[in-house]
């Protein structure tokens, strides 16, 4: 059961500041203090920072799926694009310190390249790389949106298409001809802006940056979903045709929000690659894209907080479980998909309310004014059928 839009709008101002404040408290003050006093190790901080970067990714996913109803099974593409752009810059910064001591990255030396390919050049500059890591995925998203939303390719077909595009992108990035490191990807970074990446101080600074950006993005997303655009997004999700007949150019909105999500994903990728130290094509394909969906579904697709919690929670679980039971992780993940969809339609965040309603039902009271909207029934068009007269 989705919360009403005006509830969102009312709560948005107050709630945003409260939540943001809490996040600042925990992330920007609490954890650093813990780190300072030695309760939290460097390693843990760095790991958590990685989760925070993925939380930004989840925010983007929540915007398009939870709020606008666009299921994209290819968000990892944009994450990867941002990561690769940043990775290129980091590699070039470390130039001269590779195994071969050449100005160009090691893998290019293996591929018998003598000079940098053209499209690497712009990212030599840090500012351009930063902008690029957000702009390139956003533009890619806009392009995909342009080719699909204007043709009213929606719902299930769109999901399948994005999955295929993710697959194709993964295939392409694996090729050595792309000069992006092939299967091994980009790695072995040493410096950022002159600071050593392996230094604890640098990592601490990156953590603070990530946490800050996450909070900033959260506030931004809250504002967006609470504004008129948010209203329109929800309307697109719930009854797109009706909105069309109110005069709204639906495709434009979808392209817009898809690009915003792309930008967020790119930002997440840039932050991620800087702190994890590697980006490979295997993080771009079909499976990573699906995992993003699970984070958001698990956390709660109707709530930005939920999306963030889902991202952090599942990735933390994965770190623990893959260390103990590596072979069982795919099965656990698959099981998560099933359980979340069947039993937790509103995710973890919606669980309390779900239980509350369940209890009230058990006690025989009707849930006045809160009839679960026949969401499913409102869109019977999702179920194409065969017309008997057409054969």
Partner 1 sequence: MSESGSIIYLDGVTVSFDGFKALQEVDFYVDHGELRALIGPNGAGKTTLLDAICGKVKPDHGRVVFGQATELHKLEEHEITMMGIGRKFQTPSVFQNMTLFDNLTLATRHERGVFANLFHTLNRAQRDHIMSTLQTLGLEDKAHQQAGILSHGQIQWLEIGMVLVQDPTLFLLDEPVAGMTREEREKTSELLQWLAKDHAVLVVEHDMEFVRQTADRVTVLHEGQVLCEGSVEHVKSDPRVVEVYLGRG
Partner 2 sequence: MARARTTWSTANVPIYLKRSKGEAVLKLTCIAVVLGGLVGSTLLHTTQARANTLKTYAQGLLQPDTQRAALEGLRDLGEPTVQPLLDALKEGALYSWKGVVYRFTDTGTFVDLDGVPLLDSAGEALLPDDMEPVPLAEDNIALVRRILDGLNLFAADVATRKATVRRLGNLRDAAVIPMLEKALAQETHTDVQAVLRVAMDKLRLASPDPNVRLETIRAFGASRAESALSRIKGLRKTETDPTVLTAIDEAVKSIEDYLRLRNAVGYVFNGVSLASVLLIMSLGLAITFGLMGIINMAHGEMLMLGSYTAYVLQELFATTLPQYLDYYFVVALPLSVVVVGFVGVLMERGILRFLYGRPLESLLVTWGIGMMLQQGARLFFGDQTSVSPPTWFRGGWEIMPGLIFPYGRMFIILLSLLSLAVVYLLLYRSTVGLKIRSVMQNRDMAACMGISSRTVDTLTFAMGTAMAGLAGCALSLIGTVDPEVGKTYIVDSFMVVVLGGVGKLVGTVIAALGVGMSNKILEPLISGTAAAVYAKVAILVLVIFFLQLKPTGLFPAKERTAAGAVR
Residues that bind partner 1 (CB under 8 A): 2, 4-6, 9, 227-229, 231-232, 234-235, 238-239, 241-250, 252-253, 256, 369, 371, 373, 378, 387, 389-390
Taking CB within 5 to 8 Å according to partner kind, which of partner 1, partner 2, none is near residue 369?
Answer: partner 1
Closest distance of CB 213 from partner 2, Å: 29
For residues 152 and 318, which CB has a smaller minimum distance to partner 1 in the complex? 152
Closest distance of CB 152 from partner 2, Å: 6
Report the alpha-carbon distance of residue 304 to residue 58 in Å, rounded. 8
For residues 231 and 321, which CB has a smaller minimum distance to partner 1 in the complex? 231
Taking CB within 5 to 8 Å according to partner kind, which of partner 2, partner 1, none is near residue 112?
Answer: none
Report the alpha-carbon distance of residue 49 to residue 271 in Å, rounded. 9
For residues 103 and 164, which CB has a smaller minimum distance to partner 2 in the complex? 164
Rounded to whole angstroms, the maximal C-alpha distance in the chain is 76
For residues 3 and 335, which CB has a smaller minimum distance to partner 2 in the complex? 335
Closest distance of CB 168 from partner 1, Å: 29
Measure the CA angle with vertex 80, ends 113 and 130; round to 5°. Answer: 80
What is the 3-state composition of the chain as percent helix, strand, coil, each rounded to the nearest 5? 75, 0, 25
186 DSSP β-pair partners: 279
For residues 114 and 390, which CB has a smaller minimum distance to partner 1 in the complex? 390
Q: Do 209 and 271 form a contact (C-beta atoms < 8 A)?
A: yes
For residues 33 and 381, which CB has a smaller minimum distance to partner 2 in the complex? 381
Closest distance of CB 374 from partner 1, Å: 8
Closest distance of CB 38 from partner 2, Å: 39
Taking CB within 5 to 8 Å according to partner kind, which of partner 2, partner 1, none is near residue 118?
Answer: none
Taking CB within 5 to 8 Å according to partner kind, which of partner 2, partner 1, none is near residue 334?
Answer: partner 2
Q: Do 53 and 272 form a contact (C-beta atoms < 8 A)?
A: yes
List C-alpha distances in Å: 323 to 15, 39, 42: 38, 22, 19
Closest distance of CB 308 from partner 2, Å: 20
Report the alpha-carbon distance of residue 195 to residue 278 in Å, rounded. 17
For residues 9 and 113, which CB has a smaller minimum distance to partner 1 in the complex? 9
Q: Do 12 and 225 form a contact (C-beta atoms < 8 A)?
A: yes
For residues 118 and 386, which CB has a smaller minimum distance to partner 2 in the complex? 386
Report the alpha-carbon distance of residue 153 to residue 6 in Å, rounded. 29
Taking CB within 5 to 8 Å according to partner kind, which of partner 1, partner 2, none is near residue 335?
Answer: partner 2
Taking CB within 5 to 8 Å according to partner kind, which of partner 1, partner 2, none is near residue 148?
Answer: partner 2
For residues 3 and 335, which CB has a smaller minimum distance to partner 1 in the complex? 3
Q: Which residues of 19-35 are buried (b: 16+ CB within 10 A; e: fewer)?
A: beeebeeebbeebbeeb
Report the alpha-carbon distance of residue 8 to residue 228 in Å, rounded. 11
Residues found near partner 2 in the complex (CB under 8 A): 71, 73, 147-148, 151-153, 155-157, 159-161, 163-165, 167-168, 171-172, 174-175, 177, 239, 241-242, 245, 290, 293-294, 297, 327-328, 330-331, 333-338, 340-342, 376-377, 379-388, 390-391
Taking CB within 5 to 8 Å according to partner kind, which of partner 2, partner 1, none is near residue 253?
Answer: partner 1
Closest distance of CB 166 from partner 2, Å: 10
Output the DSSP codes for 235-304.
HHHHHHHHHHTTT--HHHHHHHHHHHHHHHHHHHHHHHHHHH-EE-GGGTSHHHHHHHHHHHHHH-TT-H
Closest distance of CB 113 from partner 2, Å: 17
Q: What are phi and psi of 279, to 5 degrees?
A: -140, 125
Report the alpha-carbon distance of residue 337 to residue 297 in Å, rounded. 8
Closest distance of CB 367 from partner 2, Å: 20
């Amino acid at each position: 059961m989705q919360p009403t839009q005006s509830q969102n709008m009312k709560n948005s101002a107050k709630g945003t500041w409260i939540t943001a404040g809490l996040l600042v408290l925990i992330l920007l003050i609490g954890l650093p203090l813990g780190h300072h006093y030695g309760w939290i190790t460097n390693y843990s901080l760095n790991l958590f920072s990685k989760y925070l970067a993925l939380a930004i990714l989840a925010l983007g996913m929540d915007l398009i799926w939870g709020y606008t109803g666009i299921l994209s099974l290819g968000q990892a593409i944009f994450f990867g694009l941002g990561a690769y752009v940043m990775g290129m810059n980091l590699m070039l910064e470390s130039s001269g310190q590779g195994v071969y001591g050449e100005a160009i990255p090691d893998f290019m030396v293996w591929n018998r390249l003598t000079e940098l390919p053209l499209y690497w050049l712009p990212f030599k500059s840090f500012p351009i790389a930063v902008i690029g890591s957000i702009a390139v995925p956003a533009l890619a998203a806009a392009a995909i949106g342009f080719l699909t939303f204007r043709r009213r390719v929606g719902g299930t077909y769109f999901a399948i298409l994005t999955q295929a595009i993710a697959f194709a992108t993964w295939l392409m990035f694996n090729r050595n001809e792309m000069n992006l490191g092939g299967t091994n990807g980009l790695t072995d970074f040493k410096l950022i802006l002159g600071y050593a990446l392996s230094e604890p101080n640098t990592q601490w600074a990156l953590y603070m940056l990530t946490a800050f950006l996450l909070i900033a993005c959260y506030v931004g997303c809250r504002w967006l979903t609470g504004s008129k655009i948010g209203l329109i997004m929800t309307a697109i999700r719930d009854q797109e045709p009706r909105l069309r007949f109110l005069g709204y150019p639906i495709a434009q909105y979808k392209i817009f929000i898809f690009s915003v999500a792309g930008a967020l994903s790119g930002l997440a990728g840039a932050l991620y690659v800087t702190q994890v130290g590697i980006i490979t094509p295997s993080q771009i394909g079909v499976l990573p894209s699906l995992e993003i969906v699970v984070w958001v579904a698990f956390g709660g697709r109707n709530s930005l907080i939920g999306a963030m919690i889902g991202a952090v929670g599942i990735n933390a679980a994965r770190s623990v479980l893959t260390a103990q039971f590596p072979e069982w992780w795919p099965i656990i993940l698959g099981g998560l998909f099933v359980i979340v969809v069947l039993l937790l339609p509103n995710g973890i965040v919606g669980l309390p309310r779900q239980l509350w309603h369940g209890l009230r039902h058990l006690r025989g009271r009707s849930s006045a004014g809160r009839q679960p909207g026949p969401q499913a029934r409102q869109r019977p068009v999702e179920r194409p059928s065969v017309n008997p007269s057409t054969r």
